[in-house]
Structure formats: structure tokens, C-alpha cells
Structure 1
Amino acid sequence: MIKHNYNVIGVMSGTSLDGVDLAHINFEINDGKWSYQIFECDTISYSNEMISKLKNGIHFNSSDLSELNIEYTNLLGNIISEFIVKNNISNLDAVCSHGHTILHQPQNGFTLQIGNLPEIAKITNQKVVCNFRVQDVLLGGQGAPLVPIGDKILFSEFDYCLNLGGFSNISFEENNERIAFDISPVNTVLNFYANTFGLEYDDKGKISKSGNISTELFDELNTLEFYQKPYPKSLGFEFVKEIILPLLENYPISVKDKMRTFTEHIAFQIGEILQTKTGKLLISGGGVYNDFLIDRIKNHLPKTEIIIPDEKTIQYKEALIFALLGVLKLRNEINVLSSVTGAKQNHSSGEVF
């Protein structure tokens, strides 16, 4: 008998490296319509040592990567266990965990999210649903973005759902199917430059706002090959490290000017995607707190109604949706859309330990 209520924890670690997001969620399904309630939630920051390893994992050999995977699985398992104990959570149906993306090369048929080893179930003493991207890549898909099915199921009242995290990505309905893709880097670049001032991030976009746009850099960014490609398409940290940062570093301008120019680039690319569209745009993710970036997006989308949700949904939307992906996997229902990833077919992805 299929359940109608699910008591789960969603776990997400994004490319912006601000920590592990955990959200205790109850899902209910009635007459085919899903609803949710977010209870306790928290973000657990990484140590400086772990941030360094996660940043540099892209360059590790297979032996060091394997060691990092074990270390990270142990860390993640302990973080989840402490969250359960601290909040006195019981009778869980599952912990639904994304892990942390180290390598994402769908063009080479490969993606790696560490922290998804079977041992995580033993450490947490819970049923764990994880490793959602691998199957899609094997089916010829991008393995990303995976959030759009959650947008479709939980946020259908909005015309477009935009997430501003390490990267920006968007999802919407087109010709009766869900379309979604990555737009550009966001916090992976802005945080990199904020770090040079000894800051974790650019608070409210104040540093970016104080800079000037380099028209030449702005134009060169917008002509990069990725932006001309049709969707489905997705981005990994490789794109930032191999293309974006070398390009920015090639310009002898101040860090403030680089951040100002890149902020305009982010907003411009979002505007390019939605320039002919009107309706309601839901924005979530850490970039929502960058007031200057939001102002620039509004400037590029004068006909769009921009909606920023409640605090828990802003911060924990991805954890919420990966929790839903896990629940759908438990029900053996579709949780990845081929219209979004480019895979051969819709499918129910993830591993259950």
C-alpha cells in the first residue's frame, strides 16, 4: 500500500560551499496533489580544510578522490545524525541526500557526487536515498538540473522558477513540458572575489555596486560559447575554473570592477532568457540576499513580476526538492524529466541504502 504522508530529511550541499543544508520536511499527497511543510532546518558550515579539499577535488587523482569520498561520507553521516538527535526527530521514512558535486562532465558520460557511499546509511542508522545524477548521465542526459520536477510539482503557481546559487538555473513550462537549464555562474564567481577581501560573500552586493562595468569584459563574457548553445545544458565548477576565472583575470581592472561587470553579466543572461516572456518569477537561493543583483535582474526584466518566498523556502528549497526526489524514488515514480536533462527517457533515479 502506497503511503500518503512522508516524514523525511532533505540534505543538500551546493557549489557555493557555504555548507550542508538540512531540512526536516513532511510531504502529503491527496488526489495527486503534493503539499509540504518545512519544520526544523539548519546549515552546517564546512571547516576551512574541508572547503579547500572540496574546491581542489577537481584536480585529485582517483586514489585521493576515493579517500575524499570516504572522509566526506563520514562527515555528512555525522552531520545528519547530529541534526536528528538535536531536533529529536523520529519515525523517519528516509534521509534524501544529494551529496556534493566534485566532477560534472556529462559530455564524457561522467558525474561524481561524493558522500553517497552505502556507509552513510549505517552511520545515520536510517534509510538513505541518494546519488540522483549518475543514472541520468548513463541515459545520455546532462544529470542536471534535477530541481525542475520539484518546481513543477510544488511551485506550479509560478510561471518561472529561478535559483541563484553557485550557478543560476531556471525552469518553466514550454509546449506542455518542463524545460530547465543552467544560465550562468553566480556565487561561484562572486564569492571567489569576495574571498580576496577576506569575506565569505559580498554582503547585499555592496562591493559589486561600488565598481564600474568594463564594457569590453562584459561583451566578451556574453559571447562565450556556452551562452549560444541550445538547452538542455548544464554547468559545473570546471567551467568557472577553466573559462570564467582565467578570462576575468586577464583584465587589468580592479576586483570591484570585475564583480560589478560579472553581476551585470548574470542579470543580463537571465534577462536574455526571459526577455520575451511575462508572468510570475519565483527567485530562491543564496543570491536572493544580494540586493544589488536582484535590482539588476529587475532592471533587465521590467515586465516580470518577481516574487521572493519565505525565508525557509529561500534557504532550503534545494534540500526540500531533493527530499521530494527521494520520496518519489521510494514510490518508484518519475523524479527526473528527460525534457530537462536530455536523457533518453523520464526515469526514477537514485540509490536506496
Structure 2
Amino acid sequence: MNKKSWDIIGLMSGTSLDGLDIVYVKFYSDKDSYEFKIINCDTIPYSLHWEKTLRNAFNFSEEELDGLNIKYGIYLGESVQNFISKHSISKIDFIASHGHTIFHKPEEGYTLQIGDGQKISDVTGLKVICDFRTQDVEFGGQGAPLVPIGDKLLFSNFKYCLNLGGFANISFEKKGERIAFDICPVNIVLNYYSKMLGFQFDEGGKMAKKGKIDQNLLEELNCISFYKAPTPKSLGFEFVKDSIFPILNKYHIKNEDILRTFVAHVVFQISECLDNKLDSSLLITGGGAFNSFLIEELKSVTKNTIVIPDTNTINYKEALIFAFLGLLRDENKVNCLSSVTGAEKDHSSGRIFTKQV
């Protein structure tokens, strides 16, 4: 039997605002078994204008957000066009776009990822699949995390799949079901305090390593109620703004000490999610995988075998999996798992756009 194949461009913009990830992937399928190969990938750093706009969009009015949705969709389309030209890509089945999250409050019944799919399609002339979270929230789910279906079908040889991006999230099988949830903030906080020290991020965790743990701060962070809440559960910038920063702002200590304490907080919260009685494999991706100090601290508290994959998988796993979510949606197959999000049922989510004549 001949394998089916697809050529897809995936787009991902994370809460850490380090740029737009674009990946061109070829997927192969034999029945319900999938393989992939990353052909090309780039991260397009945001200009100061876009970084400031996306960071402040949380405070925009509805009318301003509508305008931003359109402008950002055009930006995404133009970025894809430049990517296609740069890599001389000729065969594309469609684009799958996560968009950029502005609001995420599933407990109040809404989530918003901007990046108008129609505009992306109009600019590129290609089919676009996007808005993967809204339907899940309408079905009573968290709308997140969505990556676990990719973990299940593309990375099944690992016991745990841990992503260290703006937030840490984890995915694993438990009693025949895929379980996944957001653990805690990571780079969205670490980058914020690194910038106060004049750096975009804490390379290798060097600044955190120089700091000292403030035990009172660490204890207060670890007592936040979210961490004891049952799954399914997910996080957005609102959590950092309402629950993390107010605590950190109470402590008048060096930024290096805040970084060191927050790394300890992240490591503790991750370790609480792992079964340390088993020598199981733990795949780590996302920008935090390059934070060697954080990784060494995590190694010191777990018996799990930590696997750091190749650079492209570290950097582009989320964009890769959103391309895969688009594939599943295009095939009308399940791409949102109720065991993960808490929705009333498994379903196939994502809106489909084609260029308007």
C-alpha cells in the first residue's frame, strides 16, 4: 500500500514573543500511523513594533482587536510568502496557523488567537486552517493544550513530552488515555526579568545560576492554588499578571535572585508531575531546553532519562504539531482530545479558509 503524504506549512507564535516560528513539513501516513520530516524552518523575530503591539494587545478595545486581527493576518501571510520565496518551495497543500494568543479564559467561556485566516489565505493564495481552540472551549473544554495529539501520534516512544516555552506543559499516557496540562510559567517570567538586566533571555541560565534562592518567595510561589487544582487545566498571560507578578513584586531582592528562585519553582512544579519511581524517558523541547542550568537542576531531582532532541525539534515542535493538527482537521479526524481538555467529546477542530475571488 502506498503511503499518503502532505506538504504543510505550520505557524506558531508563543507567549514568550521571541518571534514567529514557520516550519515546512512533509507528513507520511499508512492508515493511522504517521511520520514526518522537517524540510525547512525559520524563526522570524518580531520587530519592536510588533512585540510591543502584541504584548499590549491584552488591553485593547474590541474594535482595536478586530483591526489587529486583520493586520496580523496580513503579516502572517506576508511572512509565509517570504519564507516560500527564500526556500523555493513549490508544493504546499495548506497552511496551519496557531495565531497569537491574546486572551485565554476558558473558565469564562472564551479564548482568542489573532491572525485572520481569510487574510492569510488572500495574501498567499493558499488554503488556511486556523482557530483550533475556540470549538473546544464551546464544547466545555480548556481549548488547551492541543499539542498532546501530536505527542501521542508522532512522539509515542517517550513516556513524557515536556515543552518549556512561555509556559511548561506536559503530556503522557495514563490508564489508556492521553493526559496533558499546563504546569507553570517559565520563559514568560524568566525573559521578563532577564530584560531588566539588559538581556533578551538568560542564556544557559547563567544569570539565574549566580543568584540565591529566596526560600520565602519559593514557598509562596509553590502555594499558589492552581498547582493543586485537578486537570484539565491551562494557563494564559492572565495567570502571570494576576498571580505571579504580584507575588514577585513584594520581594525587594536582586533580579538574579528572582531568576534563581523562579528556576527552583519551575523545577519543583515539573518534578511534582513526574513518576520518579520509574526510569522513563522525558523528551524536552521549547526554548527552555537550551537553559542548561534549568535542565541540570531538573536532572538532579528526577530519575527519568532526559532526552534533548535535535535543534529543529526543540525549536519547532509546536509549529510542527500545529501543522499536524491541520492535517487531522483536513482529514476530518480527531485533533482535540477530551481527556486532555475536558471537552464533552473528542472532536476535529479548526476553521478552513480559501482565497476569496
- Scaled by the length of structure 2, the TM-score of the pair is 0.97
Greater shift, 75-84 or 113-122, is seen at 113-122
Aligned to 1:281: 282
Alpha-carbon displacement from aligned partner over 1:61-103 (angstroms, at most 9, x marks no partner): 1111112111111111110111111111112111111000000
1 CA distance for matches of 2:215 and 2:336? 39
Q: How does 1:6-17 map to 2 (within 5 A)?
A: 6-17=6-17
Q: How does 1:24-173 map to 2 (within 5 A)?
A: 24-173=24-173
1:277 and 1:238, CA in 2 relative to 1: closer, same or farther beyond 3 A? farther
Q: What secondary structure does 2:29 align onto?
A: strand
Amino acid at match of 1:283: I
Tell me how large the CA RMSD over aligned residues is. 1.1
Amino acid at match of 2:217: L
1:268 and 1:51, CA in 2 relative to 1: closer, same or farther beyond 3 A? same
Offset at 1:333?
0.3
Aligned to 1:348: 348
Q: What secondary structure does 2:192 align onto?
A: helix
Would the aligned equivalents of 2:117 and 2:128 in 1 still touch at CA under 8 Å? no
Aligned to 1:319: 319
Q: What secondary structure does 1:99 align onto?
A: strand
Q: How does 1:142-291 map to 2 (within 5 A)?
A: 142-278=142-278, 279-291=280-292
Offset at 1:241?
1.3
Amino acid at match of 1:51: E
| 1:298 matches 2:263 | no
Q: What secondary structure does 1:179 align onto?
A: strand
Amino acid at match of 1:292: F
Greater shift, 246-255 or 210-219, is seen at 246-255
| 1:335 matches 2:339 | no
Q: What secondary structure does 2:145 align onto?
A: coil
Greater shift, 237-246 or 160-169, is seen at 237-246
Greater shift, 193-202 or 165-174, is seen at 193-202
2 CA distance for matches of 1:180 and 1:101? 19
Alpha-carbon displacement from aligned partner over 1:238-274 (angstroms, at most 9, x marks no partner): 1111210121011011111011000000000000111
Would the aligned equivalents of 2:190 and 2:201 in 1 still touch at CA under 8 Å? yes
Offset at 1:277?
4.8
1 CA distance for matches of 2:259 and 2:299? 18
1 CA distance for matches of 2:30 and 2:111? 35
Offset at 1:299?
1.3
1 CA distance for matches of 2:85 and 2:20? 16
Amino acid at match of 1:139: F
Aligned to 2:23: 23
Would the aligned equivalents of 2:73 and 2:114 in 1 still touch at CA under 8 Å? yes
Would the aligned equivalents of 2:285 and 2:317 in 1 still touch at CA under 8 Å? yes
2 CA distance for matches of 1:324 and 1:298? 30
Q: What secondary structure does 1:273 align onto?
A: coil
Q: What secondary structure does 2:101 align onto?
A: strand
Offset at 1:117?
3.5
Offset at 1:217?
0.3
Amino acid at match of 1:40: N
Would the aligned equivalents of 2:184 and 2:235 in 1 still touch at CA under 8 Å? yes
Structure 2 gap ranges (5+): none
Amino acid at match of 1:280: S
Matched-pair identity in %:
53
Q: What secondary structure does 1:5 align onto?
A: strand
Q: How many residues of Structure 1 are paired with residues of Structure 2 in the alignment?
A: 351
Alpha-carbon displacement from aligned partner over 1:278-301 (angstroms, at most 9, x marks no partner): 210000000011010001111121
Offset at 1:32?
2.4
Alpha-carbon displacement from aligned partner over 1:4-60 (angstroms, at most 9, x marks no partner): 100111110001101000111000001421000001100001011111111111111
Alpha-carbon displacement from aligned partner over 1:104-159 (angstroms, at most 9, x marks no partner): 01011000000034121011111111110000000000000000000000000000
2 CA distance for matches of 1:52 and 1:73? 17
1 CA distance for matches of 2:28 and 2:116? 26
1 CA distance for matches of 2:286 and 2:45? 16
Structure 1 gap ranges (5+): none
1:79 and 1:277, CA in 2 relative to 1: closer, same or farther beyond 3 A? farther
